[in-house]
């Protein structure tokens, strides 16, 4: 049984890299009948953003990643952290450091001049004298002075960090506030984390956190450090590449299933499988199979996945999703026909909305390029004749096949090529030349609306403004 967590800082909106981390933790906890917890790391009061905090919770709700228990806020746990800082001081495992900023800067300059890695030199580690006046001390932990810190990473295998690479790092600032690595270790231990799945940008923090675990006698969780998501050029993902606020994906017309399916494949795979339902993810995911190398963001694949889910979710679900984009089909007597037709070529819900609007809204203008190409001198003559044919058969016109049954003989009788009739009809009905099947559109609109739109176009002679 795995107990995992996702622990974002509310200093900015949740981006897709964070959502991928949350997804991996969620899947592993649910697969093992464990717990998935949400912790908000909000100790940085100067950078915290209330809107960002709400957006994190909103994103979780949108994609359907449910967490167990209440949300934990680090800002409400300060007394716990201070208790453990004092415990380490009392046990001689941490100490007050009175080094001034000027001293620290001078030390760094000296070390850099000597081509050494800048680090604290431990000068107050065993200090027993009189503290210098005017200095508010920080608290540093006593890091091991020799040997190695070794742990098995579930992605990167055995990791060895020489102790001389880790100095006596600060666990409490001069104002008493605990530092990041300290509170993370305390929280993960007290919340019973068995597995910590996070981005490999945290790999350098792991040794420090292990020092804290061992100093306090806590069990050390298993770590899985997931390689980052790069852009297609192998560089850090930027907003231009897709590192957006998760809720921006909703605003751009993506379904949450598509985004989660996309993210689970950015760093993990099951042979050549591309489409994963949540049930399949839960059955197949194992963090031990996370790729060791970085993954590349692929916008085309995300669009392909979104198109797949748009085609495969129910029309009732699509109609509900479209309400977010101010497209209302509930109660429309041709809702099923409209969605079945429109979703075939839509890659996003915005494209779906636009495709629907092309059908259900009367055109206010006609595409100039299409008019120049397809509207000829004799177009109005055979269009009038076609309208008369429709009028004669109007009582039998209900389905797309009904329109097809009368149109094919008409084309043959007038010795027309299909585009000669279909493109003028398509322009008259939708204003453009890229709409779906004319037969389907006419079946959706019905005889009266088809007649009205074609006659309007003919009366205007397909001029720009209808």
User: Which residues participate in the annotated binding site?
Assistant: 239
Give the burial string for 300-310 (b: 16+ CB within 10 Å, else e).
Answer: ebbbebbbbbb
User: What's the chain's length in residues?
Assistant: 466
- The H or E element containing residue 73 is strand 72-73
Tokens standing for residue 125: 């580690």
Kindly state the tokens that stand for 245. Answer: 């606020």
Rounded distance between C-alpha atoms, residue 415 and residue 24, angstroms: 62
DSSP H/E element including 406: helix 400-413
Distance CA 101, CA 126 (A): 20
DSSP of 338-349: HHHHHTTS-SSH
The CA-based dihedral angle spanning residues 398, 402, 404, 407, taken in that order and rounded to the nearest 10 degrees: -100
Asked if 345 contacts 358 with a C-beta cutoff of 8 angstroms, the reply is: no
What does the alpha-carbon distance between residue 101 and residue 181 come to, in Å, rounded to a whole number? 21
Cα angle 375, 380, 382 (rounded to 5 degrees) comes to 105
Residues that constitute the known binding site for ATP: 239
Check if the beta carbon of residue 43 is closer than 8 Å to that of residue 23. Answer: no
CB neighbour class for 291 (10 Å; exposed up to 12, middle 13-18, buried from 19):
middle
Distant-in-sequence, close-in-space partners of 225: CB < 8 Å, separation ≥ 6: 153, 155, 156, 198, 199, 200, 202, 203, 206
Contact of 196 with 190, CB cutoff 8 Å: no
What CA–CA distance (Å, rounded) separates 123 from 120?
8
Give CA separation, 120 vs 116, 140, 308, in Å. 12, 10, 55
CA separation for the pair 428, 366 (Å, rounded)? 8
Q: Report the distance separating Cα 277 and Cα 152, nearest Å.
A: 31
- Residue recorded with tokens 């209808």: 466
Q: Determine the 3-state secondary structure of 457 from DSSP.
A: helix
Other Cβ atoms within 10 Å of 388 Cβ, number: 11
């Amino acid at each position: 049984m795995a107990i995992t967590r996702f622990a974002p800082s509310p200093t900015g909106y949740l981006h897709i890299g964070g959502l991928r981390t949350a997804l991996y933790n969620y899947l592993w906890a649910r697969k093992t009948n464990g717990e998935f917890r949400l912790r908000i790391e909000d100790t940085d009061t100067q950078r915290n953003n209330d809107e960002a905090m709400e957006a994190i919770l909103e994103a979780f709700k949108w994609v359907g990643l449910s967490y167990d228990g209440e949300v934990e806020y680090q800002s409400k746990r300060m007394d716990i952290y201070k208790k453990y800082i004092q415990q380490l001081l009392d046990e001689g495992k941490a100490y007050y450091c009175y080094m001034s900023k000027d001293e620290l800067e001078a030390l760094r300059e000296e070390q850099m001049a000597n081509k050494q890695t800048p680090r604290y030199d431990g000068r107050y580690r065993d200090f027993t004298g009189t503290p210098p006046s005017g200095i508010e001390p920080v608290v540093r932990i006593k890091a091991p002075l020799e040997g190695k810190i070794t742990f098995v990473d579930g992605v990167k295998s055995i990791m060895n960090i020489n102790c001389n690479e880790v100095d006596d790092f600060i666990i409490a600032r001069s104002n008493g506030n605990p530092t990041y690595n300290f509170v993370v270790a305390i929280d993960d231990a007290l919340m019973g984390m068995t597995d910590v799945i996070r981005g490999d940008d945290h790999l350098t923090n792991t040794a420090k956190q292990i020092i804290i675990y061992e100093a306090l006698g806590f069990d050390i969780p298993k770590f899985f450090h997931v390689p980052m998501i790069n852009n297609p050029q192998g560089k850090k993902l930027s907003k231009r590449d897709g590192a957006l606020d998760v809720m921006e994906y909703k605003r751009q017309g993506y379904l949450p299933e598509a985004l989660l399916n996309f993210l689970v494949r950015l760093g993990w795979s099951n042979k050549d499988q591309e489409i994963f339902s949540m049930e399949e993810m839960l059955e197949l995911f194992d963090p031990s199979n996370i790729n060791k190398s970085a993954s590349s963001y692929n916008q085309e694949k995300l669009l392909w996945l979104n198109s797949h889910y748009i085609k495969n979710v129910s029309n009732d679900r699509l109609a509900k999703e479209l309400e977010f984009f101010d497209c209302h089909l509930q109660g429309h007597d041709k809702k099923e026909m409209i969605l079945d037709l429109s979703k075939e070529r839509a890659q996003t819900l915005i494209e779906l909305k636009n495709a629907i609007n092309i059908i259900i809204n009367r055109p206010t203008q006609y595409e100039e390029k299409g008019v120049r190409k397809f509207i000829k001198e004799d177009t109005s003559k055979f269009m009038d004749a076609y309208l008369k044919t429709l009028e004669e058969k109007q009582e039998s016109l209900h389905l797309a096949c009904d329109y097809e049954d009368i149109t094919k003989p008409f084309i043959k009788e007038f010795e027309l090529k299909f585009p000669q009739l279909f493109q003028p009809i398509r322009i008259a009905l939708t204003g453009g030349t890229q709409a779906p099947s004319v037969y389907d559109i006419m079946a959706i609109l019905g005889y009266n609306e088809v007649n009205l739109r074609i006659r309007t176009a003919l009366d205007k002679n397909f001029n720009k403004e209808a």
